[in-house]
């Protein structure tokens, strides 16, 4: 039996200003995001922001990422932590599902293949 009065919290702690639900990046209508193709198994996106361009909080399912034009991107996670990632041209990797916002420190071009369940 519980005797303390502290509330139970489920899931990660999120700052009140950041939403916790999954958000499709395409809902914002941003010119630096383009859907190249999509079917019931995957969606292929082009991410090509100029230096200083920001993308609000959004989510990606598991994703295969290919770097066309390298550079740095500052990524802010839901917990408020900030990572500055440097992408090298020609690099490819698989990224787990995540929710974040981002800012292009440099002009970059990435191709993302979002995998659907």
Mean pLDDT for the stretch of residues 84-108 = 97
* Residue 17 within a domain: no
What confidence tens digit (pLDDT) does each residue in 60-86 have? 999 999 999 999 999 999 999 999 999
Mean pLDDT for the stretch of residues 45-69 = 97
Instruction: Read off the CATH number of the domain in which 37 is found.
Output: 2.60.120.10
Which residues lie below 8 Å from residue 72, measured CB to CB, with a gap of 6+?
Answer: 84, 85, 86, 87, 104, 105, 106, 108
Check residue 117 and give its pLDDT: 79
Check residue 21 and give its pLDDT: 52
- Report the number of distinct structural domains present in the chain: 1
What confidence tens digit (pLDDT) does each residue in 6-36 have? 343 333 333 334 344 569 999 999 999 999 9
* Residue 20 within a domain: no
Domain containing residue 31: 25-115
* Residue 3 within a domain: no
Check residue 2 and give its pLDDT: 39
Are 114 and 42 in contact by the 8 Å Cβ rule? The answer is yes
Task: Calculate the alpha carbon distances from 10 to 17, 20, 87 in Å.
Answer: 18, 12, 34
* Residue 87 within a domain: yes
Which residues lie below 8 Å from residue 52, measured CB to CB, with a gap of 6+?
Answer: 103, 104
Residue 36 structure tokens = 């190249």
* Residue 71 within a domain: yes
């Amino acid at each position: 039996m519980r005797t303390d009065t502290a509330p139970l919290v489920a899931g990660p702690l999120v700052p009140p200003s950041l939403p916790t639900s999954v958000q499709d990046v395409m809902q914002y209508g941003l010119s630096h995001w383009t859907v190249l193709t999509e079917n019931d198994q995957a969606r292929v996106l082009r991410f090509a922001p100029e230096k200083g361009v920001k993308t609000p909080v959004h989510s990606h399912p598991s994703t295969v990422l290919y770097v066309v034009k390298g550079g740095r991107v500052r990524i802010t996670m839901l917990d408020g932590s900030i990572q500055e990632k440097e992408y090298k041209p020609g690099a490819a990797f698989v990224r787990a599902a995540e929710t974040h916002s981002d800012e292009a420190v440099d002009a970059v071009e990435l191709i993302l293949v979002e995998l659907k369940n």
